């Protein structure tokens, strides 16, 4: 039993299926390439903050050492 809209319905279902498959693939590719960059960038920014903190501490230790040497003289 073929009704007049059966052919169009097949195209609609096929197009929907292809759209879903392409959407899943694009989502996977986005997560794989773009998502990892965001995680890596966040991790690197945290490392930079830690290194800046350690550098400030080092500068403070050097300043304290210089001050204590001047006081001993």
- Per-residue pLDDT of 4-61, as tens digits, reads 667 788 889 999 999 999 999 999 988 887 777 777 888 999 999 999 999 999 999 9
- Give the span between the Cα atoms of 23 and 66, in whole angstroms: 63
pLDDT digits (tens, 9 = 90+) for 48-73: 999 999 999 999 999 999 999 888 87
- Give the span between the Cα atoms of 58 and 51, in whole angstroms: 10
What residue ranges do the domains of the chain occupy? 36-73
- Give the span between the Cα atoms of 56 and 58, in whole angstroms: 5
Return the residue matching tokens 């403070």: 60
Return the residue matching tokens 């392409």: 22
């Amino acid at each position: 039993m073929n009704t007049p809209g059966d052919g169009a319905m097949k195209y609609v279902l096929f197009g929907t299926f292809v759209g879903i498959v392409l959407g899943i693939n694009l989502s996977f590719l986005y997560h794989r390439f773009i998502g990892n960059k965001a995680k890596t960038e966040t991790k690197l920014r945290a490392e930079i903050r830690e290194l800046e903190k350690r550098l400030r501490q080092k500068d403070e230790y050097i300043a304290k050492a210089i001050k204590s040497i001047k006081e001993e003289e």
